[in-house]
Amino acid sequence: MKKALITGITGQDGAYLTELLLDKGYEVHGIKRRSSLFNTDRIDHLYQDPHEDHPKLVLHYGDLSDSTNLIRIIQQVQPDEIYNLGAMSHVKVSFDTPEYTANADGIGTLRLLEAIRILGLEKKTRIYQASTSELYGLVQAVPQSETTPFYPRSPYAVAKLYAYWITVNYREAYGIYACNGILFNHESPLRGETFVTRKITRAVAKIAMGLQDKIYLGNLDAQRDWGHAKDYVEAMYLILQQETPEDFVIATGVTTHVRDFVSMAFAEVGITIEYKGQGVDEKGYVVSSSNSNFQVAAGTEVVAVDPKYFRPTEVELLIGDPTKSMTKLGWKPKYDLKGLVSEMVAADVDLFQREKLLKESGYKIKNQFE
């Protein structure tokens, strides 16, 4: 039985990858951070009582900023594969916490690679590094492929640039099976609530149900190549199963404006919106019509731009070229954007039904400190 160790197991990708590897018969070990609240929501359905004989999913406390902890866990687990998904992954937040981001996202990768060396596991343990389309940053050429030059535009992307190259360097210097997956944006109902897609689908559900009036967004002109996280974790697995270690772009090859994602999400609840703006200071979107299930009056402003969500330096256009992964890995996405948006909006509508029912029955959800 193969053993995998996943950093970032409590995140969106960690949850889908855990499910995939358990299905494939792996014993999965994950590193979770100590938190003052439970932080394992996304993997609770996969949880196994540690008192059982040979549980297939085992969680270890740890952090990418702590070498001693990483070395100890890797020594104990002796993994065949490490998936380094742990990161401070929010681009905008990285401008507020640049040093922490460099430590976790950049040096964290070095710590894992060094742990493999220190423990003499160069020939046993394969490692996947969660690299990102943010490396391309300021557009040099499109579509972006494995040979397109990088030009990172945020502390997050700069930290990930270090992680990318240290992974390549340890592969070349020490013969470690170490690979970068350069993944373009991928989303799902498990996506963190502050990334733009999930922020939009949650707001659309709440607005349609009368639980929220409006959503404030930043740059609506940005373009992203959005795929489904379920498809993308499959690619991570495939990258570590090849004969020789290489880096791969994982993308759909289709790009969409943030403003069009907004319209698509509203369309899922039967609301058509019209853009009234002439620029960031103008009015946002208003409803032009809505169906009978979700009543939002025509003319209501449901989307507005708030410059507080702008980034000091933005990545305007991402569109990936997945030719290499399609030909060498045989990878092909099963979801398209329409299916992804549909699934995300439906999941959020479901989520907020409960809140709506409570509100309708006059129940006020009280803050526990009131």
Q: What is the contact surface with ligand NDP in residues (CB under 6 A)? A: 7-8, 10-14, 31, 33, 35, 39, 63-65, 85-89, 104, 130, 132, 183, 185-186, 192
196 binds ligand GDR (CB under 6 A): yes
| Known catalytic residue at 83 | no
d(CA 233, CA 173): 27
Q: Pick the catalytic residue: 16, 83, 136, 156?
A: 156
Give, as ranges, the residues between 251 and 270 that touch ligand GDR (CB under 6 A): 258
Q: Assess contact for 262 and 285: CB atoms under 8 A.
A: yes
CB of 288 to ligand NDP, least distance (A): 31
The reply to whether 309 sits near ligand GDR by the rule CB under 6 A is yes
Q: Are 95 and 154 in contact (CB under 8 A)?
A: yes
Cα separation, 208 vs 204, in Å, equals: 6
Does residue 317 interact with ligand GDR by CB under 6 A?
no
Taking phi over 0 as left and psi of -120 to 50 as alpha, with beta for the rest, 68 belongs to alpha
CB of 107 to ligand GDR, least distance (A): 17
C-alpha radius of gyration, the chain, whole number: 22
Indicate the residue among 14 and 284 with the shorter CB distance to ligand NDP: 14
In the sheet where 215-217 sits, what is the strand order? 215-217, 301-305, 285-290, 271-275
Q: How far is the CB of 334 from ligand GDR (least distance, A)?
A: 20
Structure tokens at 338: 């329409």
Give the range of 48-56, 75-83, 127-135, 343-351 binding ligand GDR by CB under 6 A. Answer: 127-135
The yes-or-no answer on residue 134 being catalytic is yes
Q: Does 42 bind ligand GDR (CB under 6 A)?
A: no
Using CA atoms, how far apart are residues 165 and 154, in angstroms rounded to an integer? 17
CA distances (Å), origin 134, targets 101, 216, 222: 14, 23, 13
Question: Which range in 121-129, 171-179, 217-225, 235-243 contacts ligand GDR by CB under 6 A?
Answer: 217-225
Half-sphere exposure in the Cβ direction for 242 (13 Å, CA): 22
Is 219 a binding residue for ligand GDR by CB under 6 A? The answer is: yes
User: Which of the listed partners (ligand GDR, ligand NDP, none) does 88 bind, with a CB threshold of 5 to 8 Å by partner kind?
Assistant: ligand NDP
Member of 59, 176, 203, 222 binding ligand GDR (CB under 6 A): 222
CB of 80 to ligand GDR, least distance (A): 26
User: Left if phi > 0, otherwise alpha if psi is -120 to 50, otherwise beta: which for 344?
Assistant: alpha
Q: Looking at 132, 197, 252, 255, which residue is catalytic?
A: 132
**How far apart are CB 49 and ligand NDP at their closest, in Å?**
22
Using DSSP bridges, classify how beta strands 285-290 and 271-275 pair: parallel, antiparallel or unpaired: antiparallel
Return the range that interacts with ligand GDR (CB under 6 A); candidates 46-54, 102-110, 174-182, 213-221. 213-221
Q: How many CA atoms lie within 13 A of 337 on its CB side?
A: 19
Catalytic residue chosen out of the listed positions 19, 27, 81, 134: 134
Residue whose C-beta lies closest to ligand NDP? 11
User: Which partner, ligand GDR, ligand NDP, none, binds residue 39 by CB below 5 to 8 Å per kind?
Assistant: ligand NDP
Q: Which is nearer to ligand NDP, 134 or 207 (CB)?
A: 134
Q: 273 to each of 210, 256, 279, how far by Cα in Å?
A: 16, 17, 17
Determine phi and psi for 265, rounding to 5 degrees.
Answer: -70, -45
> Is residue 243 flagged as an active site residue?
no
Half-sphere exposure of 19 (CA within 13 A, CB side): 16
- Kindly list the residues in this chain that would bind ligand GDR in the complex (CB under 6 A): 89, 91-92, 132-134, 184-185, 194-196, 199, 217-219, 222, 224, 258, 309, 311, 314
Active site amino acids = 132, 134, 156
